[in-house]
Structure 1
Amino acid sequence: MTTLFWFRRDLRIYGNEALIAAVAQGARDALFFVSKKQWQQHDAAAIQVDFALRRVTWLGEQLARFGVHLHVIEAPDFNDQQQALLAFCQQHNISAVFANREYEVNERERDETLTAQLALAQVTIQLFDGDVIAPPGSIRTKQGEMFRVFTPFKKAWLAHFSGYQAHLPKWPLSEQPRSWAPPACLASDGSSAKWPVDDSALVQIVGRFMDEKLVHYGEQRDFPAIKGTSGLSPYLALGIVSVKQLLAETQLRVPDILERPSHPAFSWLNELIWREFYRHLLVEFPKLCKHHNFNSQYNHVAWRDDAAQFQAWCNGKTGYPLVDAAMRQLLQTGWMHNRLRMVVASFLTKHLLIDWRKGEQFFMQHLLDGDLASNNGGWQWAASTGCDAQPYFRIFNPVTQSEKFDPKGEFIRKYVPELAAVPDKYIHWPEAYLALRPDIDYPQPLVEHKAARERALAAFKGAI
Structure 2
Amino acid sequence: MRGLIWFRRDLRTLDNTALIDAIRAVSDSQDDNQGLLALFVVTPEQWQEHHLSPMQADLIRLRLLTLSTELKALNISLAVETVDNFSNCPSLITEVCQRFDIEQVFANAEYELNETTRDAQVEEALTEHDVAFTLCSDKCVFTPGSLLNKQGSYCKVFTPFKKTWLQRFSVEQSVVHKPKSLDVNSLYDQGLEYKGDLTYPTVDSAQWHNNTKDVIAELRRFAIERASDYQQDRDFPALDGTSLLSPYLAIGMLSVRQCIARLLNGRHPEQLNEGEQTWLSELIWREFYQHLIYFEPKLCKGRSFVLWSDNLHWQGENEHLEKWQRGETGYPIIDAAMKQLYQTGWMHNRLRMVVASFLTKDLLLDWHDGEAYFMSQLVDGDFAANNGGWQWSASTGCDAQPYFRIFNPISQGQKFDPDGSFVKQWLPELKAVPTKYVHSPWLWADFPSLDYPDPIVDHKQQREKALQMYKDAKASGS
Q: TM-score range by the shorter chain?
A: over 0.9
Q: Which amino acid aligns with 2:267?
A: P
Retained in 1: the 8 A contact 2:74–2:180? no
Q: Please state how far the C-alpha of 1:436 moved relative to its aligned partner.
A: 2.7
Q: Which amino acid aligns with 2:169?
A: F
Residues 376-420 of structure 1 deviation map (CA, whole Å, 9 limit, x = unaligned) = 000000000001234344311111110110001000000011001
Report SS of the residue matched to 1:185.
coil
Q: Please state how far the C-alpha of 1:87 moved relative to its aligned partner.
A: 0.6
Q: Please state how far the C-alpha of 1:165 moved relative to its aligned partner.
A: 4.9
User: What residue is the counterpart of 2:32 in the other structure?
Assistant: none
Deviates more, 1:295-304 or 1:215-224: 295-304
User: What residue is the counterpart of 2:292 in the other structure?
Assistant: 281
Report SS of the residue matched to 1:265.
helix
User: What residue is the counterpart of 2:31 in the other structure?
Assistant: none
CA distance in 1 between counterparts of 2:172 and 2:25 reads 27
CA distance in 1 between counterparts of 2:255 and 2:171 reads 20
- Residue 394 of structure 2 is aligned to residue 383 of structure 1: yes
- Residue 108 of structure 2 is aligned to residue 100 of structure 1: yes
Q: Please state how far the C-alpha of 1:28 moved relative to its aligned partner.
A: 2.3
1:268 maps to which of 251, 269, 279: 279
User: What residue is the counterpart of 1:212 in the other structure?
Assistant: 225
User: What residue is the counterpart of 1:401 in the other structure?
Assistant: 412
Report SS of the residue matched to 1:271.
helix
User: What residue is the counterpart of 1:4 in the other structure?
Assistant: 4
- Residue 301 of structure 2 is aligned to residue 290 of structure 1: yes
Q: Please state how far the C-alpha of 1:168 moved relative to its aligned partner.
A: 1.8
2:213 maps to which of 200, 217, 221: 200
2:330 maps to which of 290, 312, 319: 319
Retained in 2: the 8 A contact 1:2–1:96? yes
Equivalences for residues 3-402 of structure 1 within 5 A: 3-26=3-26, 27-162=35-170, 164-173=172-181, 181-183=193-195, 185-186=197-198, 191-252=204-265, 255-257=267-269, 259-260=270-271, 263-402=274-413
Q: Please state how far the C-alpha of 1:304 moved relative to its aligned partner.
A: 1.8
CA distance in 1 between counterparts of 2:43 and 2:20 reads 25
Alpha carbons of structure 1 residues 147 and 232: separation in structure 2 relative to 1, 3 Å: same
CA RMSD in angstroms comes to 1.8
CA distance in 2 between counterparts of 1:5 and 1:368 reads 25
Residues 126-148 of structure 1 deviation map (CA, whole Å, 9 limit, x = unaligned) = 11121110100111111211111
- Residue 470 of structure 2 is aligned to residue 457 of structure 1: no
Residues 288-344 of structure 1 deviation map (CA, whole Å, 9 limit, x = unaligned) = 001111001112111024111111101001010000000000001000000000000
CA distance in 2 between counterparts of 1:394 and 1:331 reads 25
Residues 163-212 of structure 1 deviation map (CA, whole Å, 9 limit, x = unaligned) = 54511222211798967742352489561011110112112111110110
Report SS of the residue matched to 1:29.
strand
Deviates more, 1:174-183 or 1:89-98: 174-183
Residues 22-59 of structure 1 deviation map (CA, whole Å, 9 limit, x = unaligned) = 11222521101111111111100000011101101111
Retained in 2: the 8 A contact 1:393–1:457? no
Retained in 1: the 8 A contact 2:392–2:399? yes
CA distance in 1 between counterparts of 2:81 and 2:172 reads 39
CA distance in 2 between counterparts of 1:449 and 1:352 reads 9
Q: Please state how far the C-alpha of 1:72 moved relative to its aligned partner.
A: 0.8
CA distance in 1 between counterparts of 2:389 and 2:158 reads 13
Gaps of 5+ in 2: 27-34
CA distance in 2 between counterparts of 1:175 and 1:341 reads 48
Q: Please state how far the C-alpha of 1:264 moved relative to its aligned partner.
A: 2.9
Alpha carbons of structure 1 residues 331 and 298: separation in structure 2 relative to 1, 3 Å: same
Report SS of the residue matched to 2:45.
helix
Retained in 2: the 8 A contact 1:74–1:185? no
User: What residue is the counterpart of 1:446 in the other structure?
Assistant: 456
- Residue 439 of structure 2 is aligned to residue 428 of structure 1: yes
Q: Which amino acid aligns with 2:124?
A: A
Residues 228-281 of structure 1 deviation map (CA, whole Å, 9 limit, x = unaligned) = 0000000000010010111111111x6112x34764310000001111110000
TM-score normalised over the length of structure 1 = 0.96
Retained in 1: the 8 A contact 2:78–2:193? no
CA distance in 2 between counterparts of 1:422 and 1:285 reads 48
Q: Please state how far the C-alpha of 1:372 moved relative to its aligned partner.
A: 0.6
TM-score normalised over the length of structure 2 = 0.93
Retained in 2: the 8 A contact 1:165–1:251? no
Report SS of the residue matched to 1:280.
helix
Retained in 2: the 8 A contact 1:66–1:176? no
Alpha carbons of structure 1 residues 181 and 164: separation in structure 2 relative to 1, 3 Å: closer
Q: Please state how far the C-alpha of 1:116 moved relative to its aligned partner.
A: 1.5
CA distance in 1 between counterparts of 2:473 and 2:447 reads 43
CA distance in 2 between counterparts of 1:149 and 1:3 reads 41
CA distance in 2 between counterparts of 1:267 and 1:18 reads 30
Q: Which amino acid aligns with 2:460?
A: K
CA distance in 1 between counterparts of 2:440 and 2:379 reads 30
CA distance in 2 between counterparts of 1:337 and 1:248 reads 24
CA distance in 1 between counterparts of 2:181 and 2:273 reads 41
Q: Which runs of 4+ in 1 moved over 6 A?
A: 174-180
Retained in 2: the 8 A contact 1:4–1:98? yes
Q: Please state how far the C-alpha of 1:61 moved relative to its aligned partner.
A: 1.8
Identity of aligned residues (%): 46
Report SS of the residue matched to 1:137.
coil
